[in-house]
Structure formats: structure tokens, C-alpha cells
């Protein structure tokens, strides 16, 4: 957090900021009637809007349509289904456009001002009928505290819904930024690495909003690694209603720093929730690298460590096999002197040094085990070769990851 900026974490998510209603329900795209599969977010007024998208060459039809609709930086509503990704199917674009038309009718806006997203199985056509049939109920359900039902409706293999909101001040104006996201497999940058829908009531210009979103994503969502698969449908978007009444933020104005700090805080919380709820995960793994010669090296190393299947399985087994950490550091491509490396494992049960000057040190395996049995583990790597640092977030690799993904479609 930037010094002098006070951030207050509050309850709620995408409806925490002024001017946003949401609702989520089960419309029937999924067989399981207890699983919501459709949601909308509707703003009271046209919003300045920005988004970041998957870098996957194979990208879902909703991504293509949303890019087009956001070209003017204005949005009024979001519609999103889970269960089917609307990707790699012949009439995907028409269906995504049709979803926008349905949402526009419910929101009372133009289809061009609707953001559309889908998440789920690739290659299966998304059925429009259940969506059409549910629109009246969806519209009727929209409310200023509907964020939770909406967050539930975008879950796929997530085990918990993920929301976060932060309140802060710009001058005398109380502002809020909040949102929801879903993970939890296919999480790997580069770029927006899942679905994330954000809202804020700050008054801000389009280019500043875009710049802030890109900046905030860099050290949050783009540092989360679950399984190395970059999804076809990932997107993070934000709508700004302006209802907080602050003087309009531009990149050079005073309020930009406050807004960016708040946005980063929300994204970091969501990123960590996502990592911790990675498919089958039992624990959050945070790899902190400091003393790197440059930021890119620090990022490479931290990402490589949290991505390593061997590190991830060792963490699952609470096994202090730090050699695998060294190994992942060694193959990541960062040019560092491995003979200076220091590694500690840290959790709320304590901290233990396992490697010094690139070589193993005697350590108490029982203490290491106690530390690694906790559900939030920090792998702390000090390089002593500069001032740069980075943090990456991931999770352990477990039997349940295999179980969840061995037959996802059934």
C-alpha cells in the first residue's frame, strides 16, 4: 500500500461501489440445479470501462465480442454464463451477440454497451433457450446487494465464491472499488488469467482507468499460477460509475494514486483467493524473491517456483524438499549466481532456513514439517544480487487436481 493512503476492506464485491446492481441464478445450462450458471451486472448509468484479455490465440467468442463493444470505453452491463465457454464452436459469435441483446433489453441499454463472458467446457455450443427463458427472472432479481449471487454464478470448479471491496478517500469523497472473480484451473498468465468483474464509483477518464487496470493486473493476477494452462476465455474488466463525485481522475491528477492503490489491493486479495482455491488445492503458496539483479529475473524465479509440479507436490506432502526450489530457480532462465541463494520456508508456525549460499544446511525436519503443514506457505528466496523483488502466488498439486480434471466434462 502506498504510504498515506488509507484503505478500508469492506464487505461485498461488485455491488459495493455506488450504482451497481447484480444477480445470479440457475438457468439450466448446467444440469445441476443447485449450481447457478447465469448472472448480470447492471450499472445505473453508462460507465467508463476497461478490460484486459487472455493472450491465448484460441479465444472465446465472448472475448471477441466484448473487445468490439469496449472499443469506445463505455459499458452499462455485464452478462456471463458458466458451464460452457462458447469457444471453438461455429456459431459462437452470433450467440455471444445474442446474449448481449438479451442483456441490453433487460438493462435498458444498447447491445454495444454490454460486456459478455462465458466460462466452462470448450467446443460445446452454448444453448440460448435457457438464457432467454431466464431473463425476466434475472432482471427482476437485480439488486444493490446481489453481488454474492452473481459471484456464485460464475464459479466453475471453484469451491468458494470470491469477492472483495475496498473503501478509500479521494479528497473528501468516499470512493469504493470492488469485484468478484472465479478461478480455478487453467490459470497461467500472460495476462488476465480468469474471469474478474470489477466496479468502482470513482469519476475517472477512460485512459486512466485502462492504465490503472493494466498496472494493477501486473503484480496480482499475472503472478498467479495454478496449472500452466492459459485459458481461452479469461478477462478482467472494470466499470466506473463516477457516482462518488470526486473531481475526474486523470493519470496526472492527485486521485490516481489512491485509486490505483485501492484497485491493486482488491486484485491482490482476489488473486490470493484464486490461488488458494486452485483446483484441488489444499494450500496457498507464495514465493517471494528479493535481492534480484532486475525485476524480470525476480518475476521469472518466483513464477517458476510456484509453477513447478515437483515443488507443488512437495508442498502438498509438507516435504521440505528445497532442492526442487533450487531446481526450478535454475531452469527458469534468470541469470543469477546460484551460489548466493538463501531459501527459507515460512508460515504462521514459524520460519526455517534450509539453504544458504546455494547449498543445503542442517535443519530440523520436524520443525520444517510443522511449518509446511499450514495452509499458507511462503517460500522466501533471497538472492543478494540486487534490489529487485517479486512475489508469485500458486497452490499445491494434489490428488484432487487429478480427480477434478480427469473427467471434467461429465
- 132, three cell numbers: 432467454
Residue 148 falls in the annotated catalytic set:
no
Q: Under a CB-based contact definition with an 8 Å cutoff, are residues 37 and 81 in contact?
A: yes
Q: How far is the CB of 221 from a second copy (least distance, A)?
A: 15
Q: Which residues bind a second copy (CB under 8 A)?
A: 55-59, 85, 87-90, 121-125, 185-186, 188, 227-232, 307-310, 313-314, 316-317, 319, 321-324, 326-331, 334-336, 338, 354-355, 358-360, 397-399, 401-410
- 301, three cell numbers: 524465479
The active-site residue, picked from 66, 119, 193, 220, is 193
What's the CA gap between 393 and 329, in Å, rounded? Answer: 15
Q: Which residue has the cell 471491496?
A: 165
What's the CA gap between 383 and 358, in Å, rounded? Answer: 10
**Which C-beta is closer to a second copy: that of 107 or that of 186?**
186
**Which C-beta is closer to a second copy: that of 273 or that of 311?**
311
Greatest pairwise CA separation for the chain in angstroms: 67
What's the CA gap between 227 and 311, in Å, rounded? Answer: 12
Distances (CA, A) of 387 to 49, 306, 308, 393: 35, 21, 25, 20
Rg of the chain (C-alpha set)? 22
What's the CA gap between 272 and 394, in Å, rounded? Answer: 8
Q: How far is the CB of 64 from a second copy (least distance, A)?
A: 12
Q: How far is the CB of 330 from a second copy (least distance, A)?
A: 3
- 177, three cell numbers: 472499488
Burial of 359 (0-12, 13-18, 19+ CB in 10 A): exposed
**Which C-beta is closer to a second copy: that of 204 or that of 397?**
397
* Phi and psi, residue 297, nearest 5°: -65, -45
Q: How far is the CB of 178 from a second copy (least distance, A)?
A: 30
Q: How far is the CB of 51 from a second copy (least distance, A)?
A: 19
**Which C-beta is closer to a second copy: that of 188 or that of 220?**
188
**Which C-beta is closer to a second copy: that of 33 or that of 410?**
410
Residues forming the active site: 193
Amino acid at each position: 500500500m502506498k504510504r498515506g493512503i488509507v484503505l478500508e476492506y469492506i464487505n461485498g464485491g461488485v455491488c459495493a461501489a455506488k450504482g451497481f446492481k447484480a444477480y445470479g441464478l440457475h438457468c439450466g445450462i448446467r444440469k445441476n440445479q443447485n449450481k447457478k450458471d447465469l448472472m448480470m451486472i447492471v450499472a445505473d448509468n453508462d460507465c467508463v470501462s476497461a478490460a484486459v484479455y487472455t493472450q491465448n490465440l484460441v479465444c472465446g467468442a465472448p472475448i471477441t465480442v466484448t473487445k468490439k463493444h469496449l472499443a469506445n470505453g463505455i459499458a452499462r452491463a455485464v452478462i456471463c454464463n458458466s458451464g460452457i465457454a462458447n469457444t471453438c464452436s461455429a456459431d459462437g459469435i452470433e450467440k455471444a451477440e445474442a446474449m448481449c441483446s438479451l442483456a441490453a433489453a433487460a438493462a435498458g441499454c444498447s447491445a454495444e454497451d454490454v460486456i459478455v463472458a462465458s466460462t466452462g467446457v470448450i467446443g460445446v455450443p452454448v444453448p440460448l433457450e435457457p438464457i432467454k427463458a431466464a431473463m425476466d427472472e434475472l432482471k427482476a432479481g437485480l439488486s444493490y446487494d446481489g453481488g454474492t449471487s452473481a459471484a456464485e454464478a460464475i464459479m466453475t470448479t471453484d469451491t468458494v465464491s470470491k469477492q472483495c471491496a475496498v473503501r478509500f478517500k479521494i479528497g473528501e469523497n468516499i470512493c469504493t472499488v470492488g469485484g468478484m472473480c472465479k478461478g480455478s484451473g487453467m490459470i497461467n498468465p500472460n495476462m488476465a488469467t480468469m474471469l474478474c468483474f470489477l466496479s468502482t464509483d470513482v469519476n475517472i477518464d477512460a485512459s486512466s482507468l485502462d492504465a490503472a487496470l493494466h498496472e494493477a493486473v501486473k503484480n496480482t493476477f499475472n503472478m498467479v499460477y495454478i496449472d500452466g494452462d492459459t485459458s481461452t476465455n479469461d478477462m478482467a474488466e472494470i466499470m466506473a460509475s463516477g457516482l462518488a463525485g470526486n473531481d475526474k481522475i486523470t493519470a496526472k491528477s492527485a486521485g490516481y494514486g489512491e485509486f490505483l492503490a485501492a484497485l491493486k489491493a482488491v486484485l491482490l486479495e482476489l488473486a490470493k483467493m484464486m490461488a488458494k482455491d486452485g483446483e484441488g488445492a489444499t494450500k496457498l503458496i507464495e514465493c517471494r524473491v528479493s535481492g534480484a539483479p532486475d525485476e524480470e529475473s525476480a518475476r521469472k524465479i518466483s513464477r517458476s517456483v510456484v509453477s513447478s509440479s515437483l515443488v507443488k507436490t512437495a508442498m502438498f506432502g509438507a516435504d521440505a524438499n528445497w532442492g526442487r526450489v533450487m531446481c526450478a530457480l535454475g531452469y527458469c532462465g534468470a541469470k543469477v549466481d546460484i551460489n548466493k541463494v538463501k531459501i527459507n520456508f515460512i508460515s504462521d508456525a514459524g520460519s526455517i532456513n534450509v539453504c544458504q549460499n546455494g547449498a543445503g544446511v542442517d535443519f530440523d525436519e520436524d520443525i520444517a514439517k510443522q511449518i509446511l503443514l499450514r495452509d499458507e506457505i511462503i517460500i522466501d528466496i533471497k538472492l543478494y544480487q540486487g534490489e529487485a523483488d517479486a512475489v508469485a502466488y500458486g497452490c499445491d498439486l494434489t490428488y484432487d487436481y487429478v480427480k477434478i480434471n480427469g473427467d471434467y466434462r461429465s
